Amino acid sequence: MPHTTETETETVARSTVTAPPGARTPRPAGKARAARVWQRLTPWLFLAAPLALLITFTYAPVANMVAYSFTDWDGVSPELHYTGVENYVDIFTREELFQVFLVSGYYLAASAVQIVLALYFATILSFSVRFRNFFKGVLFFPYLMNGVAIGFVFLYFFQDGGTLDSVLRLFGHETDRAWLSTSTSANVSLAGVSVWRYLGLNFVLFLGAIQSIPGELYEAAELDGANRWHQFRYIIAPGIRPVLSLSVILSISGSLAVFEIPYIMTGGATGTETFVIQTVKLAFQFNKTGLASAAAVVLLLIILAVTWVQRRLVPDDKVDLV
Amino acid sequence: MTPTAPAPTVRRAVARTLTYVSLVVAVVVVLLPLTVVFLTSLKTSKEMADDSGALTLPDDVLNLGNYATAFQDGRMLTAFGNTAFILLFAITGTVVIGSMAAYAIDRFTFRFRKLVVALFLVATLVPGVTTQVATFQIVNSFGMFDSRWAPIALYTGTDIVSIYIFLQFVRSIPVSLDESARLDGANAFTIYRKIIFPLLKPAIATVVIVKGIAVYNDFYIPFLYMPSEDLGVISTSLFRFKGPFGAHWEVISAGAVLVILPTLIVFLFLQRYIYNGFMRGATK
């Protein structure tokens, strides 16, 4: 086998193992070596562009960001000073900078609501229901919509005399409340919009997982006298555990990285500023690249920590890669 | 399980009713805000001013004046053009890059293969929103800031999920196909181009749909990297409605409907593929 003659390198295309053994013997040695080098190079030719992009746009920024975070760089001037951990101390001690973590709490609570609702609708739509495809489509469609359009739709929804006020008036409830004008009310409203927007994805993922459970299981359970709750508890719940754990982690990192909806709707006013809005403002409006980098590093570390905890808690659904 | 089941208990009937009630409530919650915006887009500014409330029907359901205003003054034509340009290059790039990486990782054994795989794997954990502070400097140093190449490069270069989707498909293509082609004298590039790539059609469809929707809807990247008004994509152009049309909700609504409409049409025609695509994309 040609494989054994090439032990000095692991670079063997899998299929050469089955190439006819006599194929390379008549070739002169120099040509064979050239072919081998070429062969060793082949995978790297395919990987050159993907790896270059990966390093340029993912790893280099992370490395630079960590480096910037220990400086007072403004992002433009050639001058920068090493400031140690000062930026990090600022983030955790200056109240107005720390505030954004509290805003994430609203979105975290909202994603809990979102997962429960998605689970409920996925469960009932996995049983036979009239107009199932219509319901499925309506619940999912908001997820596909443009974020700016959603922002405007809900600005009008919460606007004085807008959709919400008109509906409430229909039920005889007169309000002159400005929904987006106090911090709590605004954050609850914005978190509600994000449930409206993202529920569909969770729902479709859950529904897919439930539908991949073999139907005989339900029939068998039915024969054993199991009711809907038993079916949910003992068949559906275990079947969707991996997707559920994925959704939880996506929700947690998503709650920390909220940007579009609050930025479009309020611009971060009235106490609705999120971590990412703050970071973008620090970096691109106030030219505090160093401080913004430190904030981004903190966010990255939190997200990595959350992912790590999730992998530890649910070890069985590790990504099966190669 | 069905209404025809023998002797349905009262409890079951109640549960069924509650099920439908909850579904109808959900449909109203989803569709009402959208319907109101659609109705608003057909109203004239005079109707908007007479304080009749948001739920009234427009006087003339064929009043498309706001759409014309949104299209012209809102520069939506340029926006759709820019979005189409970015979509074309970003999707082509993603498909080529992703399928090449997947082919190399699955079909070859080479030194540092594990490291390469680990690099791609760890990168999925780094959320793009966090690193833009530093990515911005890199994009800027390439002179791509405020050009359409910045989002194209970022969409193409940071899409690792697509690589996973391609990887799953490449793995399902039997190696014997490569081998017989190799016996016929095909080299690795011919095999990639003539055998692997054509067989990746379902994966390509998935990536085109998922990526296409993501790029079409993205606001963050074009907002950061393309401040010029000429370079507005649909998200950023629509966002700019906030200034000049300030209180003109009928024009803003028309703009929002213009942006949502293509998504709705694509969704209605490609429903099945879209559901499958997102399921594959999210669970990798």
Question: What ipTM does the predicted assembly reach?
Answer: 0.89
pLDDT tier at A7, thresholds 50, 70, 90: very low
> What is residue B75's predicted lDDT score, i.e. its pLDDT?
87
Q: What is the pTM of this model?
A: 0.85
Cα A88-A91-A95 angle, rounded to 5 deg: 150
When pLDDT is averaged across residues B158-162 and rounded to a whole number, the result is 86
Q: Which of A110, A259, A128 is nearest to A193 (CA)?
A: A110
Cα A180-A186-A187 angle, rounded to 5 deg: 165
pLDDT tier at B37, thresholds 50, 70, 90: very high
The verdict on a CB contact (< 8 Å) between B153 and A322 is: no
Helix or strand holding residue A300 (H, E)? helix A289-313
Model pLDDT for residues B73-89, shown as the tens digit of each residue = 888 899 999 999 999 99
* 3-state secondary structure at position B42: coil
> What is residue A316's predicted lDDT score, i.e. its pLDDT?
53
A12: left (phi over 0), alpha (psi -120 to 50) or beta: beta
Please give the distance of CA B179 from its chain centroid, rounded to a whole number: 37
Calpha distance B170→B164 (Å, rounded) = 10
The verdict on a CB contact (< 8 Å) between A322 and B106 is: yes
Model pLDDT for residues A154-176, shown as the tens digit of each residue = 999 998 878 888 888 888 777 76
The verdict on a CB contact (< 8 Å) between B138 and A60 is: yes
**Chain B nearest CA to A176, separation (Å):** 13
Q: How many Å is the Cα radius of gyration of chain A? A: 27
Strand spans (E) along chain A: 12-13
Positive or negative: CA dihedral B262, B268, B270, B271 = positive
b/e code B157-175 from CB counts within 10 Å (16+ = b): bbbbbbbbbbbbbbeebee
State which of A8-12, A36-40, A264-268, B275-279 shows the largest mean pLDDT: A264-268
Annotate B22-35 with DSSP letters as a single string: HHHHHHHHHHHHHH
Here the tokens at position A212 are 């991949």
Residue B44 · residue B253 · CB < 8 Å = no
**Chain A nearest CA to B65, separation (Å):** 19
b/e code B268-281 from CB counts within 10 Å (16+ = b): eeeeebbbbbbbbb
Closest chain B residue to A240, measured at CA: B283
**In this predicted structure, which of A94-98, A185-189, B31-35, B199-203 has the lowest mean pLDDT?**
A94-98
**Chain B nearest CA to A312, separation (Å):** 15
pLDDT tier at A213, thresholds 50, 70, 90: confident
Annotate A147-211 with DSSP letters as a single string: HHHHHHHHHHHHSTTSHHHHHHHHTT------TTSSHHHHHHHHHHHHHHHHHHHHHHHHHHHHH
> What is residue A237's predicted lDDT score, i.e. its pLDDT?
84
Calpha distance B130→A275 (Å, rounded) = 9
The verdict on a CB contact (< 8 Å) between B111 and A154 is: no
Mutate to test the interface with B, among A9, A11, A15, A304 (most CBs of B within 10 A): A15
Closest chain B residue to A14, measured at CA: B108
Contacts of B160 in chain A (CB under 8 A): 54
Q: Is the pLDDT of residue B207 over 60?
A: yes
DSSP secondary structure code for residue A23 in this structure: G
Cβ atoms within 10 Å of A267's Cβ, excluding its own: 13
Closest chain A residue to B156, measured at CA: A53
Strand partners, B109: A12
> What residues 122-161 of chain A have any CB closer than 8 A to a CB of chain B?
124-125, 127-130, 133, 135, 137-149, 152-154, 156-157, 159, 161
Model pLDDT for residues A298-308, shown as the tens digit of each residue = 988 988 888 88
Work out the mean pLDDT of chain B and round it to a whole number: 88
Model pLDDT for residues A137-149, shown as the tens digit of each residue = 999 999 999 999 9
Model pLDDT for residues A266-315, shown as the tens digit of each residue = 988 888 899 889 988 988 888 899 999 999 999 889 888 888 887 777 66
Q: Which residue has the higher pLDDT, B165 or B280?
A: B165
> What residues 88-107 of chain A have any CB closer than 8 A to a CB of chain B?
none
Which residue, chain included where needed, has tokens 């213009």?
Answer: B258
> What is residue B82's predicted lDDT score, i.e. its pLDDT?
95
Name the architecture of domain A86-317: Orthogonal Bundle (1.10)
> What is residue A13's predicted lDDT score, i.e. its pLDDT?
45
**Chain B nearest CA to A317, separation (Å):** 10
Tell whether A62 is within 8 A of chain B (Cβ): yes
Q: Which residues contact B82 (CB under 8 A, 6 or more apart)?
A: B148, B231, B232, B233
The verdict on a CB contact (< 8 Å) between A11 and B111 is: yes
Calpha distance B10→B7 (Å, rounded) = 9
Q: Which residue has the higher pLDDT, A308 or A113?
A: A113
Q: Is the pLDDT of residue B148 over 70?
A: yes
Contacts of B261 in chain A (CB under 8 A): none
Structural domains present in chain B: 10-63 (no CATH), 78-283 (1.10.3720.10)
* Domain ranges for chain A: 2-68, 86-317
When pLDDT is averaged across residues B243-252 and rounded to a whole number, the result is 81
Tell whether A68 is within 8 A of chain B (Cβ): yes
Residue B239 · residue B223 · CB < 8 Å = yes
Query: How many residues would you count in chain A?
Result: 322
* 3-state secondary structure at position A82: strand
Q: Which residues contact B222 (CB under 8 A, 6 or more apart)?
A: B86, B151, B231, B232, B233, B235, B236
The verdict on a CB contact (< 8 Å) between B55 and A14 is: no
Calpha distance A86→A68 (Å, rounded) = 12
Mutate to test the interface with A, among B131, B173, B283 (most CBs of A within 10 A): B131
> What is residue A3's predicted lDDT score, i.e. its pLDDT?
43
> What is residue A146's predicted lDDT score, i.e. its pLDDT?
96
The verdict on a CB contact (< 8 Å) between A14 and B15 is: no
Contacts of A284 in chain B (CB under 8 A): 136, 224
When pLDDT is averaged across residues A204-211 and rounded to a whole number, the result is 90
The verdict on a CB contact (< 8 Å) between A18 and B179 is: yes
- CA dist B225 → A250, A287, B90, B149 (Å): 26, 16, 15, 10
> What is residue A128's predicted lDDT score, i.e. its pLDDT?
80
Cα B227-B230-B235 angle, rounded to 5 deg: 65
Tell whether A276 is within 8 A of chain B (Cβ): yes
Q: Which of B201, B13, B195 is nearest to B107 (CA)?
A: B195
Mutate to test the interface with A, among B129, B169, B271 (most CBs of A within 10 A): B129
Query: Rounded to the nearest 10 degrees, how much is the dihedral formed by the CA atoms of B105, B108, B111, B116?
Result: 0
Calpha distance A43→A41 (Å, rounded) = 6
Q: Is the pLDDT of residue A319 over 60?
A: no
Contacts of A46 in chain B (CB under 8 A): 100-101, 103-104, 108, 188, 192
How many A-B residue pairs are in contact by the CB < 8 A criterion?
288
- CA dist A117 → A149, A195, A199, A206, B280 (Å): 24, 9, 8, 11, 22
Calpha distance A96→A271 (Å, rounded) = 10
Please give the distance of CA A250 from its chain centroid, rounded to a whole number: 5
* 3-state secondary structure at position B108: strand
Mutate to test the interface with B, among A8, A12, A47 (most CBs of B within 10 A): A47
**Chain A nearest CA to B80, separation (Å):** 13
Closest chain B residue to A226, measured at CA: B1
Tell whether A58 is within 8 A of chain B (Cβ): yes
Residue B172 · residue B102 · CB < 8 Å = no
Calpha distance A145→B94 (Å, rounded) = 22
